[in-house]
Amino acid sequence: MYGEESLYQDALNILLPEAYSAAVQEEKIKPVDQPKVDVESLEKGKNWVLVAEVTVEPEVELGEYKNLEVTPHPTRVLVADIEAELEKRRQQQAELVLKEDEPAKKGDTVIIDFEGKIDGDPFEGGKAENHSLELGSNSFIPGFEDQLIGHKADDEVAVKVTFPDDYQAEELRGKEAIFDVTIHEVKEKQLPELDDDFAKDIDEEVDTLEELKAKIKDELKEKKVAEAKAAIQDEAIDLAVENAKIGEIPEAMLEDDIHRQIDQYLAGMQQQGINAETYYKLTGTTEADLHKQFEKDAEKRVKTNLVLEAIVASEDVDVTDDDIDAEIKKLADQYNMEPDAVRSALSNDMLKHDIAIRKVVDEIADSAKQTREKKTTEKEKK
């Protein structure tokens, strides 16, 4: 029923994965794609000879990655920062009060009906009834909101606008349109007084406005410190990558990174109840568009990962059992899972890898010096 060659092929299919894996370990290489395997000989009674051609990671020669000079990132909280946050929370507590026979001004909210026409013909998406619009919010086409300022309830206004060249709907870009607008109501914001009652209303943990200010200061400080740390990390790692010499990046590595980014992005959408098909339909895009989106920074991401991996190897980063236990607990809390479920889903090697990378990132950032002169942009010069 079977010729001898057929049985040899079956045997080869069984033996090849293990033999290839052993060869990879012996040669100490890191393949980044499936191998191309050629059979040189399958002689009876002799060792079989196979040749595998495989794309490997490029070599990385590390440059300086410690004590790098980065741009200063101040974390001081100014009085103006606290006042701005207070005003933001005050605006959030504002009530809309109906204005009787008074013209609308910037900051007011109008309730309107509108219908847009181009060359006298209505267009899709250009009509709405009882729409609430805050004047000055810039949520409509440029120029639309400004033309309603100074008008009262029951006024009918012809608003003339030109769609921006980068407008979302391509068929409307650069087109001139006239909107017939009817104003039903004009409402203005009524802001609460900045006093102890306001403080207690928005935060039950404080009793006075001064306590609220102190709490806001602490929150802003924490936020600024976190933002500064992230910015220093990004800048220092970028410099470490610039200082390294990296061989040519194989196309397979770039494609692998892009598809991993796409998978992660769509998984995030799925968590919000939007599957891939629905996402593409809602956004009017395709997988090719998403591929192009993540293609832009793929080389940077791959190079960064290669450099961090090389630093982990050169530093011989130690990851303890306590580190792994802490990571499992953190992930369990983050994803509302049982620690045992996290442990079963992730191998120790995966956890050790992620922890080691993070330790290296922290080391690079912690050793960085905030002494680099900030580059002045052309806009700031003006």
Mean pLDDT of the chain: 91
| pLDDT for residue 194 | 93
**What whole-number distance in Å separates Cα of residue 23 and Cα of residue 140?**
63
**What whole-number distance in Å separates Cα of residue 328 and Cα of residue 4?**
52
- Listing DSSP states for 146-209 in one string gives GGGTT--TT-EEEEEEE--TT-SSGGGTT-EEEEEEEEEEEEEEEPPPSSHHHHHHH-TT-SSH
β-strands 176-190, 245-246 pairing = unpaired
CB 196 within 8 A of CB 208: yes
| pLDDT for residue 305 | 95
Q: What pTM, to 2 d.p., does this model score?
A: 0.73
- Whether the predicted pLDDT of 379 surpasses 60: no
**What whole-number distance in Å separates Cα of residue 12 and Cα of residue 291?**
37
- Whether the predicted pLDDT of 4 surpasses 80: no
Domains of the chain as residue ranges with CATH:
4-56 (no CATH), 95-190 (3.10.50.40), 210-381 (1.10.3120.10)
Overall average pLDDT of the 227-250 stretch: 95
Share of residues in the chain with pLDDT > 90 (%): 77
| pLDDT for residue 380 | 54
Six token digits for residue 234: 């990004």
**What whole-number distance in Å separates Cα of residue 49 and Cα of residue 51?**
7
- Whether the predicted pLDDT of 382 surpasses 60: no
| pLDDT for residue 3 | 72
| pLDDT for residue 2 | 65
| pLDDT for residue 230 | 94
Residue 11's pLDDT band, with cuts at 50, 70 and 90, is confident
- Whether the predicted pLDDT of 381 surpasses 70: no
* Tens digit of each residue's pLDDT (9 = 90 or more) over 173-218: 999 999 999 999 999 999 999 999 999 999 999 999 999 999 999 9
| pLDDT for residue 86 | 96
Residue 258's pLDDT band, with cuts at 50, 70 and 90, is very high
| pLDDT for residue 101 | 87
* Tens digit of each residue's pLDDT (9 = 90 or more) over 360-372: 999 999 999 998 7
Residue 210: partners with Cβ closer than 8 Å, 6 or more residues away: none
